[in-house]
Amino acid sequence: MNKSFSYSQALLALAIAFLAFSLFKFTLHVPAIISVIEKTTKTVDSVSPGIEDIINEVALVRLEVGKVRELVSQQIPAILTQVQASLPVVQQVVVESEYYSRQLPALLSQLASIEQQVEQLQKSMPAVLKRVDAVVQTTNDTTAEIARWRPHSTQYLKEIELSRGYIPQYLSRIENTVEDAKTVGSEASSGIVSGFFKGVIKLPLEMVAGLTGIVDIDSRSAKYLTAEDVALMQEKVVGLLSNSNQTKSIWQNVKSGNRGTIIKGEEIVRNKQQCINIIFNNHFGADKETLQELMCIDDKGLWKVM
């Protein structure tokens, strides 16, 4: 019994001793705690005057928030209306997006085909370039050939120009031949005039008699034109007046070098006779002259110079 009591006393003494030691250690920290409390007190004292301002600021913030809420509440219907109006557009965009998304596979397939074609084109480019080089070489050869032929071309053009000068002569010969086939008749009833059809062109004497005044004796044509020239002109006049569809005739004498054109002019009636104004453009050497004669047909059907 005594032994148990002594243990208890010992334990109690140890507990009191530990408590005293703890209190001693605590008392060692009391000055620091007091210093912190003093600092905190000073901080609270310095902050406490601003608390009222903070409260006022918070009140102002609450007021602004209220105003913002009121403004938002006023604008919400308009926003909702705009959103409601934009919904069909959004739906249309969604539909179009779905349509485009469905088209994407075909588009991608086309792009793949185009890529294949581009690859094939790239593969064929060397052959194409070779062909282009061949064309360029051919063009250069052609250009060189043209350059070699250019002097000959100039000569050909000169010869063509000379040939143009002979064309009226050839036409005159053709017209003379056609007219000869119509006018060659019996030698007993015709007068011989010069020409080119077998060396002789023949007109009836009565026709020749009516056309003797075809060239004015006071004109330069009468001075320079030969008898053969006048005979050709008479022949052409007869053919021109006999053909209602012909308005112009050409004559040329190779021997004399003279030539000319005969043109039908205005038709008139004089003394109850049908008359036609005939225009003669005569060329002799480097000179030329224009004459006009009135040809009328009589009751026998013969044309005469009036």
pLDDT of residue 197: 37
Q: Would you say residue 26 lies in a domain?
A: no
- Alpha-carbon gap, residue 190 to 216, rounded angstroms: 24
Place of tokens 């005057």: 49
Average pLDDT of span 242-256: 91
Strands (E), 146-258: 190-194, 200-204, 248-252
Q: Would you say residue 191 lies in a domain?
A: yes
Look at phi and psi of residue 172 and say left if phi exceeds 0, alpha if psi is from -120 to 50, else beta: alpha
- Alpha-carbon gap, residue 79 to 91, rounded angstroms: 18
Q: Would you say residue 279 lies in a domain?
A: yes
pLDDT of residue 279: 95
State the Cα torsion 232-238-244-248 to the nearest 10°.
20
Average pLDDT, the chain: 77
pLDDT in tens, 90-136: 888 888 878 878 888 888 888 888 888 888 888 888 888 888 888 88
Q: Would you say residue 93 lies in a domain?
A: no
Q: Would you say residue 138 lies in a domain?
A: no
pLDDT bin (cut points 50, 70, 90) of residue 53 is confident
Q: What's the order of all strands across the beta sheet hosting 303-305?
A: 248-252, 259-270, 273-284, 287-297, 303-305
pLDDT of residue 193: 40
Start-to-end C-alpha separation, the chain? 196
Q: Would you say residue 238 lies in a domain?
A: yes
Q: 198, 181 in Cβ contact below 8 A?
A: no
Which residues are paired to 263 by β-bridges? 248, 279
Place of tokens 């209602």: 244
Place of tokens 């609450």: 62
Q: Would you say residue 17 lies in a domain?
A: no
What are the helix and strand counts (H, E) for the chain?
4, 7
Share of the chain above pLDDT 70, in %: 77
Average pLDDT of span 134-151: 76
Residues in the chain: 306
pLDDT in tens, 61-100: 888 888 888 888 888 888 888 888 888 888 888 888 788 7
- How many domains are contained in the chain? 1
- Alpha-carbon gap, residue 304 to 295, rounded angstroms: 5
Note the Cα 50 to chain centre separation in Å: 84
Average pLDDT of span 34-51: 78
Share of the chain above pLDDT 90, in %: 14
Mapping DSSP to helix (H, G, I), strand (E, B) and coil, where does residue 215 land?
A: coil
- For 172, how many CA atoms within 13 A lie in the half-sphere containing its CB? 24
What domain range is 289 assigned to? 176-305
Average pLDDT of span 1-10: 63
Supply 218's token pair. 């006071």
The DSSP call for residue 212 is: T
- Alpha-carbon gap, residue 297 to 271, rounded angstroms: 11
Q: Would you say residue 94 lies in a domain?
A: no
CB atoms within 10 A of CB 278: 22
- Alpha-carbon gap, residue 218 to 209, rounded angstroms: 19
Place of tokens 């557009």: 89
